[in-house]
Amino acid sequence: MNHEAPIREFMNTGIHFNLANVLMMTIASLIVFIIAVAATRKLAMKPTGIQNFIEWVMDFVKNIINSNMDWRTGGQFLMLGMTLILYVFVSNMLGLPFSIVIGHELWWKSPTSDPAITLTLAVMVMGLTHYYGIKMRGMKNYAKTYVQPMGFLFPLKIIEEFANTLTLGLRLYGNIYAGELLLTLLAGLGTSGAVGAATAALPMLAWEGFSIFVGSIQAFIFTMLTMVYLSHKVSDDH
């Protein structure tokens, strides 16, 4: 509680970075990269172990895509979906086992407990939806979607784009931040003495399990909504 972020200025340029965010994003990326490499180094016709896991993730993401658009259109987004669901899931899990505070600065946490990261992910995803919408449908046909079925809906559709971006990022942030905040409160109670430790032990274990569930659901929701927004931009039936 009340921990500061390790913000540093870059070479006296006036540009500041949250080094904890940089560290945790790098660690999350490395973990996903290691999982991908380990799962594909020795491919077998009868998958076992981590290959079995990654194929299950692939089938899971395929089902998400197929529920939103036909495979001919959505198949090219398979790698995007797998990257998102693994990265968001790993990011959600990093802050659950423990946190690391050096001085008064919080260095180890879930990167998705920071709105700057979740909103950046949301902006990137929405940017991709516009890019693929223009690429796959052409600028003219893509622009028409903002005035169909009636032209006066154009302002509402512009507002919807901003609203989708905000809700996509803030939903993920709010759930992960709230979970870590309560874990911090329970950890503080658990270290306050023998009575506090006995009182907080069971609720903390229960909340850890619930936080794993919430983190998994949020990774699924983020990936699902990404495919929903993509389908709205690239499919002719939306």
pLDDT of residue 192: 65
* 5-52: pLDDT as tens digits: 888 888 778 888 889 999 999 999 999 999 999 988 887 777 778 889
Q: Is the pLDDT of residue 139 over 70?
A: yes
User: Which range (130-134, 195-199, 209-213) has the least confidence?
Assistant: 195-199
Cis amide prior to 203 (ω within 30 degrees): no
Mean pLDDT of 203-228: 91
- CA 110 to the chain's CA centroid: 11
- Mean pLDDT of the region 108-127: 94
- Report in angstroms the alpha-carbon separations of 230 from 39, 78, 122, 146, 223: 28, 12, 13, 15, 11
